[in-house]
A and B are shown apart, each in its own frame.
Chain A
Amino acid sequence: MTAIANSRRRQILRLIWDAEHSAGEIASTVDDVSWPAVSQNLRLLKNAGLITERRQGTHRYYRADRRALGPLEAVLRQMWTRDLGRLRDLAEAEARFRRRRRD
């Protein structure tokens, strides 16, 4: 479920990476199930500071804030730190399991 939601947000980000698009345009392009889901994804992205919103009349326009995605080093460091943390947990669990079996 998380991965699906994640890929939809990615899809939105890709669409508005280089050009501003209206909420309607985004909703018609992203293969999301419903407008509320698209709207909620846009709100999440906005709250996270990843996209900017501009209102004009009754329309809302969105664009990715590429600076917010951070430099490559930061992204990579975060990726490796998170993933190596998982590796540590798995390896430690396996080591404990083997020790118990030996005892």
Chain B
Amino acid sequence: MSKHVAAPTFALLAAFVWSLTVHTQGPMPGAVYDRDRPGEKPGPAPRRDLAGIWEPATPGGGIQGKGALAMDSCRRDKATGRYVIQQNPPLTDTGYATVDCLKPDIEPPYTAEGLARMKAHKPVEGYRMVPDAVNNDPILDCDPGGFPRIVLHNFRTSEILQTPTHMVMLYKFQKRYRTIWTDGRELPKDPQQPAWTTADRLPPEPRWWGYSVGRWVDDYTFVARTNGFHDDRTWLDNAGLPQSDTTEVEETYHRVDANHLELSIRITDPKLYTRTWVALDKLRLRLQSPNLDIQEMECSPSDQKHYYEIFGNLTDLDPTTGK
């Protein structure tokens, strides 16, 4: 091999190794992934059982910085499945652009209001990403991410506690929990005036995490529905897809075998979307040891304040070039 070929080839290999080294999400310490058990033949799925600690079956598989999994907010090359790169990419409606995240071919089916709300959001990820200094993502001030963003944006190691009357979902990201009732109650009938406490004459109460009820549709498939959210205080994902007080979320948990669970999410909101659409398509989760210690991932306002004292002052960026 001549030196003229060897040097650039080395550069290519070095860049590949470098990209893996620096940017790939690391595994959760102590977790087991499918890659750790080649040739494994899991036992049969237990009947009506979601209990346990669950982790995406591949490291980082639940962290969707570029948008909801089934609705990429960056364009992928159809042949390779990789994100499309374009030097000097076109600017988006935010006035910024980034080389590795172009507008996807398929987007959620926005209504006019949905599109307007999406454009009012200035996310730090996805094809419309902006610099930190001009973002308006609520979670970057440590507001709750809410549901379903905790799954669509950042599903990390999580535990499901199952009782005869409800499921409790314990999430590592932001160290949050939510309850899915299985005691036969119905969802609040009016999602814009939600409450389960009407009999007690308490006022309706919108929630960051909504009201959730679930049932087994067969011995291995559990479906939960959630409504009663705030109006536009939460986003659906990290790329700024909108959510409202009329959003209804359907979660489907399918127990594939003794070691695996698949999680899908569908979004319905007549205010923002013209039809129901799939936001997450069969995210594969792996059951972990019951003694796995789940790390803290708390959002501290004082830590955030210090971060922005150092990194949040890039306000002299040129809004048309991002430089």
Q: A and B from one assembly?
A: no
Where the two chains meet, the residues of A that have a C-beta atom closer than 8 Å to any C-beta of B are none
